[in-house]
Structure 1
Amino acid sequence: MPRDSPAPPTAGAARRILVAGTSGAGKTTLCGRVSAALGLPYTELDGLHHGPGWVPRPEFEDDVRAVAAQDAWVSEWQYAAVRPLLLARAELLVWLDLPVPVVLWQVARRTVRRSLRRTELWNGNVEPPLRTIFSDRDHILRWAWRTRHTLRGLDGRVACEAPHVRVVRLRSRREVERWVHGLRG
Protein backbone atom coordinates (compact mmCIF):
# COMPACT_ATOMS: atom_id res chain seq x y z
CA MET A 1 0.00 0.00 0.00
CA PRO A 2 1.48 3.41 -0.91
CA ARG A 3 2.22 5.61 2.07
CA ASP A 4 -0.39 8.20 1.16
CA SER A 5 -3.22 5.75 0.57
CA PRO A 6 -6.11 5.66 3.04
CA ALA A 7 -6.35 3.01 5.73
CA PRO A 8 -8.50 -0.02 4.86
CA PRO A 9 -12.07 0.03 6.17
CA THR A 10 -12.53 -1.04 9.78
CA ALA A 11 -14.63 -3.86 11.15
CA GLY A 12 -17.25 -1.32 12.20
CA ALA A 13 -19.97 -2.90 14.28
CA ALA A 14 -19.60 -6.34 12.66
CA ARG A 15 -20.15 -9.21 15.07
CA ARG A 16 -19.94 -12.12 12.61
CA ILE A 17 -16.62 -12.00 10.79
CA LEU A 18 -15.02 -14.35 8.29
CA VAL A 19 -11.36 -14.34 7.26
CA ALA A 20 -10.60 -15.65 3.77
CA GLY A 21 -7.27 -16.44 2.19
CA THR A 22 -5.35 -19.23 0.55
CA SER A 23 -3.52 -21.87 2.60
CA GLY A 24 -0.78 -20.16 4.55
CA ALA A 25 -2.10 -16.61 4.15
CA GLY A 26 -2.59 -16.24 7.91
CA LYS A 27 -6.33 -16.82 8.35
CA THR A 28 -6.04 -18.52 11.72
CA THR A 29 -3.63 -15.94 13.09
CA LEU A 30 -5.79 -13.04 11.94
CA CYS A 31 -8.93 -14.69 13.34
CA GLY A 32 -7.26 -14.92 16.73
CA ARG A 33 -6.20 -11.28 16.60
CA VAL A 34 -9.67 -10.09 15.54
CA SER A 35 -11.28 -12.21 18.24
CA ALA A 36 -9.00 -10.74 20.92
CA ALA A 37 -9.35 -7.15 19.71
CA LEU A 38 -13.14 -7.22 19.47
CA GLY A 39 -13.95 -9.70 22.24
CA LEU A 40 -15.73 -12.07 19.85
CA PRO A 41 -15.60 -15.88 20.14
CA TYR A 42 -13.36 -17.60 17.61
CA THR A 43 -14.00 -21.07 16.20
CA GLU A 44 -11.21 -22.69 14.16
CA LEU A 45 -12.81 -24.69 11.34
CA ASP A 46 -9.86 -27.06 10.97
CA GLY A 47 -10.48 -28.17 14.55
CA LEU A 48 -14.08 -28.98 13.70
CA HIS A 49 -13.25 -30.66 10.39
CA HIS A 50 -10.29 -32.94 11.16
CA GLY A 51 -10.89 -36.01 13.28
CA PRO A 52 -8.18 -38.44 14.39
CA GLY A 53 -6.07 -39.70 11.48
CA TRP A 54 -7.07 -36.65 9.42
CA VAL A 55 -10.48 -38.23 8.79
CA PRO A 56 -13.23 -35.62 8.35
CA ARG A 57 -15.58 -35.57 11.33
CA PRO A 58 -19.17 -36.54 10.39
CA GLU A 59 -20.51 -33.80 12.70
CA PHE A 60 -18.57 -31.07 10.88
CA GLU A 61 -21.45 -29.45 8.98
CA ASP A 62 -23.78 -29.58 12.00
CA ASP A 63 -21.06 -28.01 14.16
CA VAL A 64 -20.59 -25.21 11.62
CA ARG A 65 -24.36 -24.63 11.48
CA ALA A 66 -24.33 -24.20 15.26
CA VAL A 67 -21.46 -21.69 15.04
CA ALA A 68 -23.14 -19.75 12.24
CA ALA A 69 -26.39 -19.53 14.23
CA GLN A 70 -24.67 -17.69 17.09
CA ASP A 71 -25.01 -13.92 17.46
CA ALA A 72 -21.27 -13.27 17.33
CA TRP A 73 -18.26 -15.15 15.98
CA VAL A 74 -15.01 -15.04 14.05
CA SER A 75 -13.98 -17.91 11.80
CA GLU A 76 -12.10 -18.82 8.64
CA TRP A 77 -13.92 -18.93 5.32
CA GLN A 78 -12.87 -22.33 4.03
CA TYR A 79 -14.32 -25.74 3.23
CA ALA A 80 -16.65 -25.38 0.26
CA ALA A 81 -19.43 -27.42 1.88
CA VAL A 82 -19.91 -24.89 4.69
CA ARG A 83 -18.97 -21.60 3.06
CA PRO A 84 -22.59 -20.79 2.15
CA LEU A 85 -23.72 -21.43 5.75
CA LEU A 86 -21.18 -18.97 7.09
CA LEU A 87 -21.57 -16.41 4.34
CA ALA A 88 -25.34 -16.25 4.80
CA ARG A 89 -24.85 -15.05 8.39
CA ALA A 90 -21.60 -13.08 8.09
CA GLU A 91 -21.49 -9.31 8.22
CA LEU A 92 -17.84 -8.85 7.23
CA LEU A 93 -15.36 -10.87 5.21
CA VAL A 94 -11.69 -9.96 5.55
CA TRP A 95 -9.79 -11.19 2.50
CA LEU A 96 -6.07 -11.83 2.96
CA ASP A 97 -5.00 -11.33 -0.65
CA LEU A 98 -1.27 -11.38 -0.04
CA PRO A 99 1.40 -11.84 -2.74
CA VAL A 100 2.03 -15.48 -3.66
CA PRO A 101 5.72 -15.45 -2.56
CA VAL A 102 4.71 -14.16 0.89
CA VAL A 103 2.06 -16.83 1.32
CA LEU A 104 4.30 -19.65 0.07
CA TRP A 105 7.10 -18.57 2.43
CA GLN A 106 4.65 -18.47 5.35
CA VAL A 107 3.16 -21.90 4.65
CA ALA A 108 6.61 -23.45 4.07
CA ARG A 109 8.02 -22.00 7.31
CA ARG A 110 4.95 -23.06 9.29
CA THR A 111 4.95 -26.59 7.82
CA VAL A 112 8.65 -27.18 8.45
CA ARG A 113 8.36 -25.89 12.02
CA ARG A 114 5.29 -28.03 12.79
CA SER A 115 6.78 -31.11 11.15
CA LEU A 116 10.13 -30.91 12.94
CA ARG A 117 8.51 -30.18 16.31
CA ARG A 118 5.77 -32.80 15.77
CA THR A 119 3.26 -30.17 16.85
CA GLU A 120 -0.18 -31.59 17.54
CA LEU A 121 -2.71 -29.76 15.39
CA TRP A 122 -6.25 -31.12 15.76
CA ASN A 123 -7.48 -34.28 17.45
CA GLY A 124 -4.03 -35.83 17.70
CA ASN A 125 -2.97 -35.08 14.12
CA VAL A 126 0.52 -33.87 13.26
CA GLU A 127 2.12 -32.72 10.01
CA PRO A 128 3.38 -35.67 7.98
CA PRO A 129 7.14 -36.09 7.46
CA LEU A 130 8.56 -33.44 5.15
CA ARG A 131 9.59 -36.08 2.58
CA THR A 132 5.91 -36.72 1.81
CA ILE A 133 5.88 -33.53 -0.27
CA PHE A 134 7.22 -35.76 -3.06
CA SER A 135 4.61 -38.51 -2.74
CA ASP A 136 1.45 -36.83 -1.44
CA ARG A 137 -0.36 -34.78 -4.08
CA ASP A 138 -2.31 -33.04 -1.30
CA HIS A 139 0.70 -32.25 0.90
CA ILE A 140 0.03 -28.77 2.28
CA LEU A 141 2.94 -27.20 0.34
CA ARG A 142 1.75 -28.69 -2.95
CA TRP A 143 -1.85 -27.79 -2.08
CA ALA A 144 -0.85 -24.18 -1.37
CA TRP A 145 0.89 -23.92 -4.73
CA ARG A 146 -1.94 -25.59 -6.66
CA THR A 147 -4.67 -23.45 -5.07
CA ARG A 148 -2.79 -20.13 -4.90
CA HIS A 149 -5.14 -18.36 -7.33
CA THR A 150 -8.50 -19.84 -6.31
CA LEU A 151 -9.75 -16.68 -4.62
CA ARG A 152 -9.29 -14.36 -7.59
CA GLY A 153 -12.35 -12.15 -7.91
CA LEU A 154 -13.59 -13.06 -4.44
CA ASP A 155 -14.87 -9.56 -3.75
CA GLY A 156 -17.07 -9.67 -6.87
CA ARG A 157 -18.37 -13.14 -6.07
CA VAL A 158 -19.27 -12.15 -2.53
CA ALA A 159 -21.00 -9.00 -3.81
CA CYS A 160 -23.25 -11.21 -5.98
CA GLU A 161 -23.81 -14.11 -3.55
CA ALA A 162 -24.08 -12.13 -0.32
CA PRO A 163 -24.56 -8.40 -0.93
CA HIS A 164 -25.12 -7.87 2.81
CA VAL A 165 -21.48 -8.80 3.53
CA ARG A 166 -18.85 -6.05 3.49
CA VAL A 167 -15.46 -7.14 2.13
CA VAL A 168 -12.16 -5.77 3.36
CA ARG A 169 -9.34 -6.76 1.02
CA LEU A 170 -5.85 -6.66 2.54
CA ARG A 171 -2.98 -7.04 0.07
CA SER A 172 0.12 -6.77 2.25
CA ARG A 173 1.35 -7.43 5.76
CA ARG A 174 1.45 -3.65 6.24
CA GLU A 175 -2.25 -3.38 5.37
CA VAL A 176 -3.05 -6.23 7.75
CA GLU A 177 -1.21 -4.50 10.58
CA ARG A 178 -2.88 -1.14 9.90
CA TRP A 179 -6.30 -2.79 9.79
CA VAL A 180 -5.78 -4.73 13.03
CA HIS A 181 -4.43 -1.60 14.71
CA GLY A 182 -7.62 0.19 13.63
CA LEU A 183 -9.73 -2.40 15.46
CA ARG A 184 -8.32 -1.21 18.75
CA GLY A 185 -8.83 2.48 17.99
Structure 2
Amino acid sequence: MRIAIIGNAGSGKSTLAVKLSRQLDIPVCEIDKLLWQEGWVPAPRVFYEEAHNSVIRDDNWIIEGLGMLETIDQRIDRANHVIFCDFPLWQHFWLLAERQLKWAHGTLELPPGGQKKMPPTQALFETVWRVDRDWMPTIRGLVSDARQSKSVQIIASFEELENFEFVRE
Protein backbone atom coordinates (compact mmCIF):
# COMPACT_ATOMS: atom_id res chain seq x y z
CA MET A 1 0.00 0.00 0.00
CA ARG A 2 1.27 3.44 -0.95
CA ILE A 3 -0.32 6.55 0.58
CA ALA A 4 0.57 10.11 -0.43
CA ILE A 5 -0.48 12.78 2.08
CA ILE A 6 -0.26 16.18 0.44
CA GLY A 7 -1.06 19.67 1.67
CA ASN A 8 0.38 23.02 2.62
CA ALA A 9 2.38 23.46 5.83
CA GLY A 10 0.40 23.35 9.04
CA SER A 11 -2.32 21.01 7.82
CA GLY A 12 -1.61 18.08 10.14
CA LYS A 13 0.06 15.86 7.54
CA SER A 14 2.79 14.60 9.87
CA THR A 15 0.41 13.80 12.70
CA LEU A 16 -1.94 12.00 10.31
CA ALA A 17 0.95 10.07 8.74
CA VAL A 18 2.15 8.82 12.13
CA LYS A 19 -1.41 7.79 13.07
CA LEU A 20 -1.89 5.87 9.81
CA SER A 21 1.55 4.31 10.09
CA ARG A 22 0.61 2.84 13.45
CA GLN A 23 -2.78 1.66 12.22
CA LEU A 24 -1.55 0.11 8.98
CA ASP A 25 2.02 -0.85 9.96
CA ILE A 26 3.50 1.05 7.02
CA PRO A 27 6.67 3.18 7.24
CA VAL A 28 6.45 6.98 6.93
CA CYS A 29 8.71 9.16 4.83
CA GLU A 30 8.60 12.82 5.76
CA ILE A 31 9.48 14.81 2.65
CA ASP A 32 10.95 17.63 4.77
CA LYS A 33 13.70 15.22 5.89
CA LEU A 34 14.69 14.79 2.24
CA LEU A 35 14.30 18.44 1.32
CA TRP A 36 16.10 20.11 4.23
CA GLN A 37 19.42 19.72 5.98
CA GLU A 38 19.94 20.89 9.57
CA GLY A 39 19.18 24.58 10.08
CA TRP A 40 16.68 24.75 7.19
CA VAL A 41 19.44 24.59 4.58
CA PRO A 42 18.05 23.14 1.34
CA ALA A 43 19.47 19.73 0.47
CA PRO A 44 21.18 19.50 -2.92
CA ARG A 45 18.54 18.91 -5.58
CA VAL A 46 20.23 15.71 -6.77
CA PHE A 47 20.14 14.29 -3.20
CA TYR A 48 16.46 15.13 -2.85
CA GLU A 49 15.53 13.62 -6.22
CA GLU A 50 17.52 10.41 -5.65
CA ALA A 51 16.07 9.93 -2.17
CA HIS A 52 12.53 10.70 -3.38
CA ASN A 53 12.83 8.26 -6.29
CA SER A 54 14.18 5.56 -3.99
CA VAL A 55 11.24 5.93 -1.60
CA ILE A 56 8.52 5.89 -4.26
CA ARG A 57 9.98 2.71 -5.81
CA ASP A 58 9.10 0.79 -2.63
CA ASP A 59 5.83 -1.10 -2.36
CA ASN A 60 4.75 0.11 1.09
CA TRP A 61 4.95 3.71 2.22
CA ILE A 62 3.23 6.73 3.55
CA ILE A 63 4.84 9.87 2.18
CA GLU A 64 3.75 13.14 3.71
CA GLY A 65 4.62 16.61 2.55
CA LEU A 66 5.05 18.65 -0.56
CA GLY A 67 8.77 18.68 -1.32
CA MET A 68 9.53 20.01 -4.78
CA LEU A 69 6.53 20.76 -6.96
CA GLU A 70 8.08 18.79 -9.82
CA THR A 71 7.94 15.53 -7.81
CA ILE A 72 4.38 15.68 -6.47
CA ASP A 73 2.91 14.17 -9.63
CA GLN A 74 5.37 11.25 -9.41
CA ARG A 75 4.22 10.54 -5.85
CA ILE A 76 0.56 10.76 -6.79
CA ASP A 77 1.09 8.52 -9.83
CA ARG A 78 2.76 5.82 -7.72
CA ALA A 79 0.34 6.04 -4.77
CA ASN A 80 -2.69 3.78 -4.33
CA HIS A 81 -4.31 6.32 -2.01
CA VAL A 82 -4.06 10.10 -1.97
CA ILE A 83 -5.03 12.17 1.06
CA PHE A 84 -5.18 15.86 0.28
CA CYS A 85 -5.28 18.35 3.17
CA ASP A 86 -6.78 21.40 1.49
CA PHE A 87 -7.68 23.85 4.24
CA PRO A 88 -8.56 27.52 3.88
CA LEU A 89 -5.39 29.60 4.13
CA TRP A 90 -6.38 31.11 7.49
CA GLN A 91 -6.50 27.62 9.06
CA HIS A 92 -2.94 26.93 7.93
CA PHE A 93 -1.84 30.19 9.54
CA TRP A 94 -3.72 29.36 12.74
CA LEU A 95 -2.22 25.86 13.03
CA LEU A 96 1.26 27.15 12.19
CA ALA A 97 0.99 29.84 14.85
CA GLU A 98 0.07 27.15 17.38
CA ARG A 99 3.00 25.00 16.20
CA GLN A 100 5.44 27.91 16.44
CA LEU A 101 4.28 28.61 20.02
CA LYS A 102 4.75 24.95 21.00
CA TRP A 103 8.18 24.96 19.38
CA ALA A 104 9.18 28.14 21.23
CA HIS A 105 8.05 26.60 24.53
CA GLY A 106 9.79 23.27 23.88
CA THR A 107 6.56 21.25 23.76
CA LEU A 108 6.42 20.43 20.03
CA GLU A 109 6.27 16.65 19.56
CA LEU A 110 6.96 16.39 15.81
CA PRO A 111 9.28 19.15 14.56
CA PRO A 112 9.14 19.28 10.75
CA GLY A 113 12.00 17.43 9.13
CA GLY A 114 13.37 16.58 12.56
CA GLN A 115 14.79 20.11 12.68
CA LYS A 116 16.10 21.43 15.97
CA LYS A 117 15.82 25.11 15.05
CA MET A 118 12.41 26.73 14.65
CA PRO A 119 11.94 28.40 11.26
CA PRO A 120 11.42 32.18 11.29
CA THR A 121 7.68 32.77 11.57
CA GLN A 122 7.49 35.50 8.96
CA ALA A 123 9.35 33.41 6.36
CA LEU A 124 7.17 30.41 7.18
CA PHE A 125 3.95 32.37 6.73
CA GLU A 126 5.21 33.92 3.49
CA THR A 127 6.06 30.47 2.13
CA VAL A 128 2.62 29.12 3.03
CA TRP A 129 0.98 32.07 1.32
CA ARG A 130 3.11 31.60 -1.84
CA VAL A 131 2.41 27.86 -1.92
CA ASP A 132 -1.33 28.54 -1.59
CA ARG A 133 -1.22 31.11 -4.40
CA ASP A 134 1.27 29.48 -6.78
CA TRP A 135 1.22 25.71 -6.17
CA MET A 136 -2.23 24.78 -4.92
CA PRO A 137 -4.06 25.28 -8.24
CA THR A 138 -1.65 22.78 -9.85
CA ILE A 139 -1.89 20.37 -6.92
CA ARG A 140 -5.70 20.54 -6.93
CA GLY A 141 -5.60 19.62 -10.61
CA LEU A 142 -3.30 16.66 -9.96
CA VAL A 143 -5.55 15.44 -7.15
CA SER A 144 -8.64 15.85 -9.30
CA ASP A 145 -7.03 13.84 -12.11
CA ALA A 146 -6.02 11.12 -9.63
CA ARG A 147 -9.69 10.51 -8.79
CA GLN A 148 -9.99 8.73 -12.15
CA SER A 149 -7.74 5.86 -11.09
CA LYS A 150 -7.20 5.78 -7.33
CA SER A 151 -8.66 6.37 -3.92
CA VAL A 152 -8.65 10.07 -3.04
CA GLN A 153 -9.76 11.56 0.26
CA ILE A 154 -9.88 15.32 0.74
CA ILE A 155 -9.67 16.88 4.18
CA ALA A 156 -10.95 20.45 3.98
CA SER A 157 -10.93 21.58 7.62
CA PHE A 158 -9.37 21.01 11.00
CA GLU A 159 -12.60 19.33 12.13
CA GLU A 160 -12.42 16.86 9.23
CA LEU A 161 -8.78 16.16 10.11
CA GLU A 162 -9.67 15.41 13.73
CA ASN A 163 -12.45 13.01 12.63
CA PHE A 164 -10.57 11.46 9.69
CA GLU A 165 -11.06 7.77 8.99
CA PHE A 166 -8.90 6.10 6.37
CA VAL A 167 -11.03 4.41 3.70
CA ARG A 168 -9.57 1.54 1.68
CA GLU A 169 -11.20 1.28 -1.72
Q: Aligned to 1:157, which of 122, 135, 142? A: 142
- CA 122–173 in structure 1, closer or farther in 2 if over 3 Å, else same: closer
- CA 51–37 in structure 1, closer or farther in 2 if over 3 Å, else same: same
Q: Distance in 2 between matches of 1:121 and 1:153?
A: 24
Q: Aligned to 2:91, which of 96, 102, 119? A: 102
TM-score scaled by structure 2?
Answer: 0.78
- CA 170–52 in structure 1, closer or farther in 2 if over 3 Å, else same: closer
Q: Aligned to 2:158, which of 141, 151, 173? A: 173
Hey, which of these two has a bigger chunk of strand by percent?
Answer: 2
Q: Between Structure 1 and Structure 2, whose CA radius of gyration is higher?
A: 1
Does residue 39 (structure 1) correspond to residue 25 (structure 2)? The answer is: yes
Task: After TM superposition, give the deviation of residue 144 of structure 1 in Å.
Answer: 1.9
TM-score scaled by structure 1?
Answer: 0.72
List alignment gaps of at least 5 residues for structure 2.
none
Task: After TM superposition, give the deviation of residue 77 of structure 1 in Å.
Answer: 4.3
Task: After TM superposition, give the deviation of residue 123 of structure 1 in Å.
Answer: 6.5
Structure-to-structure mapping, 1:21-60, within 5 angstroms? 21-58=7-44, 59-60=47-48
CA contact (8 A) 2:30 2:65 kept: no
Q: CA RMSD in A?
A: 2.8
- CA 128–18 in structure 1, closer or farther in 2 if over 3 Å, else same: closer
Task: After TM superposition, give the deviation of residue 125 of structure 1 in Å.
Answer: 4.4
Q: Aligned to 2:63, which of 55, 72, 75? A: 75
List alignment gaps of at least 5 residues for structure 1.
1-14, 134-138
Percent identical across equivalent pairs?
25
Hey, which of these two has a bigger chunk of helix by percent?
Answer: 2
Task: After TM superposition, give the deviation of residue 19 of structure 1 in Å.
Answer: 1.0
